[in-house]
Structure 1
Amino acid sequence: MKKILVTGALGQIGTELVVKLREQYGVDNIIATNRSRYEGHPVVEGGTFELLDVTDEKGVFEIAKKYDVDTIIHMAALLSATAEKNPKLAWDINMGGLMNTLEVARELNCKFFTPSSIGAFGPTSPKDNTPQDTIQRPTTMYGVNKVSGELLCDYYYHKFGVDTRGVRFPGLISYAQAPGGGTTDYAVHIYYDALKLGKYTSYIAKGTYMDMMYMPDAVKAIIDLMEADPSKLKHRNAFNVTAMSFDPEEIAAEIKKHIPTFTIDYDVDPVRQTIADSWPNSIDPTAAKEEWGFSVEYDLARMTEDMLAKLKEKGI
């Protein structure tokens, strides 16, 4: 990767990804794009930034051509809970945007990354240690988008030779950017409320396990996969990756080690709970480890310590 275009660059993943890419590949070699511009945002102020709506294929092509990019990292998407509220908009953005960016990658011979999700699994997928290759019959629009996206990226690789790559991310936890409407967002909100209020009301029920990952490990996974030897990639577009699996009580217990008076209660959101119940409790990342050396640095304890420290630094 020498010249990289990132869509959805002001989102939860994009914010930390762009900062890391600029550090690693040079500020002038990263073209950050987003459909909206937020003045003062570190991605906007820290290097090249362009407004871009990924549903506009011509716009995607013009920016990619203008900067002579060789890699597209496509992060723009509508997330799970938000997608359920407006499924047609989710399809238009998630699938229309993916199709447009894949077409540009094909036309300009770019390497291509887009993330899938544990949302690509469904209630009939194995719940524990979900295999890399298994039944995928999601019951959410977001999940349908993600399965369709996995297949579409495979198609562009086999049909046109586009070097497509991707992972199935679990819930992602970050201190740098607020989450954007995902089912696993409670695992970010809980840290904010722990520091601000000393308590948290969870919209996810006690005993609901979901896979999670700290954002530095997610960013590392993207870069490691994109730098991997393509001859070793058998799956390419949908590698299971994970760092930990916990329920709300377990993350609360870890926070209590740092804030002993912290308490948690529950007011379950039926929409997001139904989505969570359709997802795996834990997934098997063996293929990612074997094919490109996937690894993580943060478990629940280390992540909690770092999250609380970083949020305090931000004045939370």
Structure 2
Amino acid sequence: MNLMKRILVTGAFGQIGSELVPALQQKYGKDNVIAMDINTPESFDGILERFNIMDRNRLLEILVKYDIGTVYHLVSLLSARGEENPSVTWDINMAGLKSVLDFAIERKMNVFWPSSIAAFGPSSPRQDVPQHTIMEPTTMYGVTKVAGELLCRYYHIKYGVDIRCIRFPGIISWKQEPGGGTTDYAVAIFYEALKTGTYNCFVRPETVLPMVYMDDAINGILALMDANYDKVGGFHAYNMTALSFSAQQLADEIKKHLSLEVTYSPDHRQMIADSWPQTIDDSQARQEWDWNPQFDLSKLVEVMLKELKTKLDIA
């Protein structure tokens, strides 16, 4: 990372950004982290810029104004929501990334960009999907992730841009409510368990998907960006996972702490979930930059319930 210059986080108040920004502020100082989003909170302790990532001129203005050295480009429409308007999903997910990469050449910036297990598809292995495999996604979100990975690789090879990337599994966090992803059932179930004691799950009980708790995901991002270039030379969209579980297993673990009745009504998101791998081989990330998640299912459930009880003011 270019430590002599400031950091810009686009999509700063989405699922990842809302927790990455405070972590970066703590590490580098509030004056060195600029948070950007199209929708911004009423109060924010730090430097804030509100604009649309599609506005290239405004983006360049911000990069110059703050002398940005590293961009964490998080703006994205997610899988399930992306299927509602594929054209808009392509425009936002791809045009924004290309603008960041173009300016990274001009201004010699480093870039972090999140990919996803959505980049895989029905032709990919379902078990222990390897770092390099067939990638034929069936959602526009997944298509933009594959295209984005290829674009990042191109900019690295042709222009030497230092771009680092993680293929995230489902991310579980208590700070942000579900926001249009296929793995959101694994967050929504906690809210409904505490508020109503019932949950109607939109995937089948036996549906298994890879997941990671947000604290682990944030630590993973920081570790990758801190890694020496010699260790992560070249461009890799690193596979990442922490654990895999079924919807039924998650419900059963929650039931160890409270009364919960779960029904299952699979909808259009079931087909998306069925196209994704159940388990991930992330050995390359573990070997090259010491990826080492700390949260198993038991610990994840305990922390989610504890934090959400406080957030929702439930005794």
What is the alpha-carbon distance in structure 2 between the residues aligned to residue 31 and residue 289 of structure 1?
A: 30
Q: Which residue pairs with 1:292 in the alignment?
A: 289
Deviation track 1:183-213 (CA, whole Å, cap 9, x = no partner) reads: 0000000000110011111001111110000
What is the alpha-carbon distance in structure 2 between the residues aligned to residue 173 and residue 202 of structure 1?
A: 16
Between the aligned residues of both structures, percent identity stands at: 50
Q: Given residue 283 of structure 1, which amino acid in structure 2 is its aligned partner?
A: I
Q: Does 1:304 find its partner at 2:301?
A: yes
Deviation track 1:232-259 (CA, whole Å, cap 9, x = no partner) reads: 1156341000011111100001101111
Q: Given residue 201 of structure 2, which amino acid in structure 1 is its aligned partner?
A: S
So what's the TM-score if we normalise by structure 2?
Answer: 0.96
Report how far residue 71 of structure 1 moved: 0.3
Q: Which residue pairs with 1:76 in the alignment?
A: 75
Report how far residue 165 of structure 1 moved: 0.5
User: Which residue of the other structure, out of 245, 248, 263, is the alignment partner of 1:265?
Assistant: 263
Kept after mapping to 2: 8 A contact 1:54/1:101: no
Q: Which residue pairs with 1:147 in the alignment?
A: 146
Q: Given residue 37 of structure 1, which amino acid in structure 2 is its aligned partner?
A: T
What is the alpha-carbon distance in structure 1 between the residues aligned to residue 91 and residue 236 of structure 2?
A: 21
Kept after mapping to 1: 8 A contact 2:25/2:32: yes
What is the alpha-carbon distance in structure 2 between the residues aligned to residue 61 and residue 128 of structure 1?
A: 42
Q: Which residue pairs with 2:8 in the alignment?
A: 5
What is the alpha-carbon distance in structure 1 between the residues aligned to residue 48 and residue 176 of structure 2?
A: 17
So what's the TM-score if we normalise by structure 1?
Answer: 0.96
Q: Which residue pairs with 1:47 in the alignment?
A: 46
Report how far residue 29 of structure 1 moved: 0.6
Q: Which residue pairs with 1:99 in the alignment?
A: 98
Q: Which residue pairs with 1:205 in the alignment?
A: 204
Alignment of 1:193-272 (within 5 A): 193-234=192-233, 236-259=235-258, 261-269=259-267, 271-272=268-269
Report how far residue 146 of structure 1 moved: 0.2
Q: Given residue 261 of structure 2, which amino acid in structure 1 is its aligned partner?
A: T
What's the C-alpha RMSD, in Å, of the aligned pairs? 1.0
Q: Does 1:132 find its partner at 2:131?
A: yes
Q: Does 1:161 find its partner at 2:164?
A: no
What is the alpha-carbon distance in structure 1 between the residues aligned to residue 226 and residue 309 of structure 2?
A: 34
Report how far residue 175 of structure 1 moved: 0.7
Q: Does 1:36 find its partner at 2:39?
A: yes
What is the alpha-carbon distance in structure 2 between the residues aligned to residue 196 and residue 275 of structure 1?
A: 28
Moved over 6 A (4+): none
Q: Given residue 30 of structure 1, which amino acid in structure 2 is its aligned partner?
A: V
Kept after mapping to 1: 8 A contact 2:200/2:262: yes
Q: Which residue pairs with 2:274 in the alignment?
A: 277
Q: Does 1:180 find its partner at 2:175?
A: no
Change in 2 beyond 3 A, CA 1:237/1:61:
farther
Kept after mapping to 2: 8 A contact 1:153/1:237: no
Deviation track 1:124-154 (CA, whole Å, cap 9, x = no partner) reads: 0000000001111111111110000000000
Deviation track 1:78-128 (CA, whole Å, cap 9, x = no partner) reads: 000011110000000000111011111111111101000000000000000
Q: Given residue 199 of structure 1, which amino acid in structure 2 is its aligned partner?
A: T
Runs of 5+ unmatched residues, structure 1: none
What is the alpha-carbon distance in structure 2 between the residues aligned to residue 237 and residue 83 of structure 1?
A: 25
Alignment of 1:19-30 (within 5 A): 19-30=22-33
What is the alpha-carbon distance in structure 2 between the residues aligned to residue 112 and residue 237 of structure 1?
A: 13
What is the alpha-carbon distance in structure 2 between the residues aligned to residue 302 and residue 39 of structure 1?
A: 33
Report how far residue 231 of structure 1 moved: 1.3
Number of residue pairs aligned between Structure 1 and Structure 2: 310
Q: Given residue 293 of structure 1, which amino acid in structure 2 is its aligned partner?
A: D
Q: Given residue 81 of structure 2, which amino acid in structure 1 is its aligned partner?
A: T
SS in 2 for 1:232: coil
SS in 2 for 1:135: coil
Q: Given residue 273 of structure 1, which amino acid in structure 2 is its aligned partner?
A: Q
